[in-house]
Every structure is written in structure tokens, then in C-alpha cells.
């Protein structure tokens, strides 16, 4: 099965051996001529299946592997798929990023509980970043995470919050050199060619030059969301 989808404005052809996730791709369907094709062989799915957590199925592995291969296909067009929760606040997109299991979704939910009228979700796990002369914008993708949080909204990127678990709550701005290693790991590409690694390095450099980055050590509670909200409001909007 094949479906043409538009990710971050770029039409891609997805080839799927399984149809379980076809409805997930349908909102992104387009009629434009694909600029690249993306697929995962049955042999590759079988090889990778043991690397996923117990209970994972072949359709799920194919779906997840299509993500990194789609990122590879987007890199020549200065787009990339990034690991994080993306939401809109005050007209800009904000990225919550961290290692899996660190509490990105929990932190977003705390925001939603307290500031629900102020924010809206873009993507709950793997948004698309579009790098252009006008700046960096954040777009939805079919890979929304276990909670399936997402919409078809897009917005210019305002900043990035790197989350870390801790016994207390503290937030501070970080310099690019401190963030570079962690943020590089959040670009979801296969790392299969030196050219793609160079492309991601170039995109990350633009990212760090374009938007501020904070580190939020937090307990995952309401107070941590208030601290994040108030810090951004003060430092970005003098509120």
C-alpha cells in the first residue's frame, strides 16, 4: 500500500506493508507529486522487532521506522522530525524535549490543566521542524506518541525547554554549547550516512542560533508548570 503525504510542506510517498496505521496517515494525504519515497522492507522490520519493547508488533515497528526514514527524506529540504511535545502558546510553538520517559507529556498535561485556554497542541511526540529564511516553524506529523495528542496546526518556533527529573523545580537559560549534545539526539533520523549527519548538524546550528533554550529540572507537578509558564512569560514577553 502507498500513500502520498505532505510533511512540513514536502510531499513524500509512504510505502506500507501493513494497513493498521493508514488512518493515521490520512489527514496528511496529498495529491502532489512526491519528492521522495519512504519504505521499510519486511526483512528490516523482522530484524528490528526484537529491539522494540516486548509486545510490539510488525505494523508498529514499520510505523515507527517510517518516521526516521521520513526524516532522512526531509533533510535535503531543510526539514527534520524532532522528538518532543510541541504546543502553541501566545502565537508561537514551544518544544518540550527530553529522553523518553522523562515526563514531557506529564508536563504538557500540567500546562493544559492550568492554562488550557492559552495553549493548543501541535504534536505530542514527533513534530516536523521547517527551517527557512523566515525562521523555524513547527508542523504536525502522523507520529503523535502513545497518547495520540496532535492537531493540524503549525506555528513559528519560540523556544525549547529541555526537561530533567529532579527533587525540586528550577529553570534556567542554557548556552548553545551546553544544549548541543542533548538536542542533536532528538533529531529522529537513521544516522545511516555521513551526509545526513552533516545536514542535521547544520540544522541544529541554525536552531541554536535562532531560538532560546532553557533547562527545567522538575518534579512533574503543577508548580513546575507554573514555574515554566511564568519564566517564559517574564523572559520572552516581560509579563
DSSP characters over 12-68:
EEEE-S--TTHHHHGGGB--SPPSEEEE--HHHHHHHGGGSPTT--HHHHHHHHHHH
Q: Give yes or no for a contact between 174 and 217, defined as CB atoms under 8 angstroms apart.
A: no
**pLDDT attached to residue 99:** 80
In the predicted model, is pLDDT for residue 116 greater than 70?
A: yes
**Domain residue ranges of the chain, discontinuous segments joined by +:** 2-77, 80-237
> What pTM value is reported for the model?
0.95
Label the pairing between strands 10-15 and 36-39: parallel
Q: Give yes or no for a contact between 168 and 181, defined as CB atoms under 8 angstroms apart.
A: no
The pLDDT confidence band at residue 238, using thresholds 50, 70 and 90, is confident
DSSP characters over 63-88:
HHHHHHHHHHHHGGGTEEEB-SEEEE
Query: Residues of the chain with pLDDT > 90: what percent?
Result: 95
Cβ-Cβ contacts under 8 Å for 49 (sequence gap 6 or more)? 56, 58, 61
Q: How far apart are CA 161 and CA 6, in angstroms?
A: 27
Q: How far apart are CA 204 and CA 137, in angstroms?
A: 14
**C-alpha torsion sign, points 174, 98, 39, 29:** negative
Mean pLDDT of 11-18: 97
Q: How far apart are CA 102 and CA 136, in angstroms?
A: 25
Q: Give yes or no for a contact between 66 and 45, defined as CB atoms under 8 angstroms apart.
A: no
Instruction: Spell 218-231 as b/e; 16+ CB within 10 A means b.
Output: bebeeebbebbbeb
Mean confidence (pLDDT) of the chain: 96
Q: Coil, helix or strand for 119? A: strand
pLDDT tens profile 52-77: 999 999 999 999 999 999 999 999 99
**pLDDT attached to residue 237:** 81
pLDDT tens profile 169-211: 999 999 999 999 999 999 999 999 999 999 999 999 999 999 9
DSSP 8-state symbol, 127: P
Quote the distance between the C-alpha of residue 62 and its chain's center. 18
CATH code linked to domain 80-237: 3.90.228.20
In the predicted model, is pLDDT for residue 239 greater than 70?
A: no
The order of strands in the sheet holding 10-15 is: 2-7, 10-15, 36-39
Amino acid at each position: 500500500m502507498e500513500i502520498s503525504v505532505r510533511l512540513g510542506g514536502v510531499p513524500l510517498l509512504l510505502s506500507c506493508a501493513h494497513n493498521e496505521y493508514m488512518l493515521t496517515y490520512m489527514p496528511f494525504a496529498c495529491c502532489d507529486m512526491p519528492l521522495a519515497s519512504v519504505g521499510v522492507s519486511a526483512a528490516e522490520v523482522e530484524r528490528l522487532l526484537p529491539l522494540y519493547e516486548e509486545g510490539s508488533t510488525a505494523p508498529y515497528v514499520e510505523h515507527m521506522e517510517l518516521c526516521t526514514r521520513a526524516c532522512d527524506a526531509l533533510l535535503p529540504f531543510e526539514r527534520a522530525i524532532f522528538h518532543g511535545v510541541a504546543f502553541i502558546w501566545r502565537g508561537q510553538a514551544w518544544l518540550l524535549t527530553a529522553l523518553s520517559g522523562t515526563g514531557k507529556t506529564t508536563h504538557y498535561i500540567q500546562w493544559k490543566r492550568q492554562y488550557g485556554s492559552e495553549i493548543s497542541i501541535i504534536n505530542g511526540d514527533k513534530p516536523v521542524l521547517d527551517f527557512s529564511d523566515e525562521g523555524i516553524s513547527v508542523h504536525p506529523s502522523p507520529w503523535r506518541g502513545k497518547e495520540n495528542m496532535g492537531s493540524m496546526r503549525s506555528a513559528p518556533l519560540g523556544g525549547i525547554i529541555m526537561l530533567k527529573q529532579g527533587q525540586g523545580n528550577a529553570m534556567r537559560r542554557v548556552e548553545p554549547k551546553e544544549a548541543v549534545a542533548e538536542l542533536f539526539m532528538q533529531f529522529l533520523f537513521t544516522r545511516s550516512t555521513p551526509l545526513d549527519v552533516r545536514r542535521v548538524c547544520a540544522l541544529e546550528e541554525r536552531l541554536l542560533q535562532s531560538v532560546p533554550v532553557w533547562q527545567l529540572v522538575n518534579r512533574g507537578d503543577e508548580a513546575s508548570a507554573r514555574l515554566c509558564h511564568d519564566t517564559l512569560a517574564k523572559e520572552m514577553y516581560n509579563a
